[in-house]
Amino acid sequence: MTTGPEDPAGGPAGPARELRAGFPDDPEGDDDVDVLYLAGQHPAATGEWLLITAADGLPGAEFTARILPPAGRQAHGGDVLVHLAPEPATGPLDPSAVRVGAWAAIDGLLIPVAAWDRQDPDGWPERIRASVAFAMSVLTELEEHGADLGPSQEIDLDDAAVTATAGIPAGVTFSTAGAGRPPGR
C-alpha cells in the first residue's frame, strides 16, 4: 500500500491512491478527454480548469472536456468550464475531497453556475453532470436566438474567477431586439 506525503504536523498523512497531483498535460491543448476518466485523480494545488466540449445529461453518457494548461488559461464567450481544486482537510483523518465549480463565459465575463464543496474525488463528474449540461443548453439556446455571447473576447480564467458575480448580463439576452424590447417585436 502506498501512503500520502508526510503531514506537516509529523507522520504520514495516511493511505493515498495516487501521489501525483495535477491532471495529465495536453501540450497542444486540443485533445478531448472523458471527464469520467478524471474521476479519482487529484487536481494540482492551484486547481485545474476544464473546457467542457460535450455533456449529455444522462448518467454515464458523453461528458468530455479539454484540460487547459496552467499558463494562460483563457475562455471565450459561449464556453462552459469546470474548475476543480483540492479541498483543505479539516482534520488528520479527513478523507481527500475536491471543490468543484461550473462556470459560463458570457460577454467577456465569467459567471458562476454552480459550486460543490467537499466532493468525493471519485464521484464529482456524475454529481456535476446535469448542471454542466444545463449550462451548455442555455448558452446554445441564447446563441440560437441571436444573443451575442462575445465569442471573440478572451477571458483570463484565474483573474475573472476572483471577481465573478452571478447572473447573465441583461444586454446579452436582447442584443438583437433593441433596448427594452423582447426579440420578435
The most distant pair of C-alpha atoms in the chain lies apart, rounded to whole Å, by: 69
Is the whole model's pTM more than 0.85, yes or no?
no
User: Has residue 132 got a pLDDT over 90?
Assistant: yes
The Cα 49–Cα 138 span in angstroms is 20
pLDDT tens-digit profile of 83-123? 999 998 888 888 899 999 999 999 899 999 999 999 999 99
What percent of the chain has a predicted confidence (pLDDT) above 70?
77
What residue ranges do the domains of the chain occupy?
A: 33-169
pLDDT at 7 (0 to 100): 41
Mean of pLDDT values over 129-143: 95
> Which is more confidently placed, 155 or 9?
155
Burial class of residue 104 (count of CB atoms within 10 Å of its CB; 0-12, 13-18, 19+): buried
pLDDT at 6 (0 to 100): 43
pLDDT tens-digit profile of 19-35? 345 776 654 556 899 99
pLDDT tens-digit profile of 60-88? 999 999 999 988 899 999 999 999 999 98
For residue 156, the cross-strand partners are: 74
pLDDT at 25 (0 to 100): 61
CB 78, CB 172: distance < 8 Å: no
Which three cell numbers, joined as nine digits, stand for 180? 427594452
CA distances from 103 to 31, 89, 93, 123 (A): 20, 24, 31, 19
* Confidence band for 2, pLDDT divided at 50, 70 and 90: very low
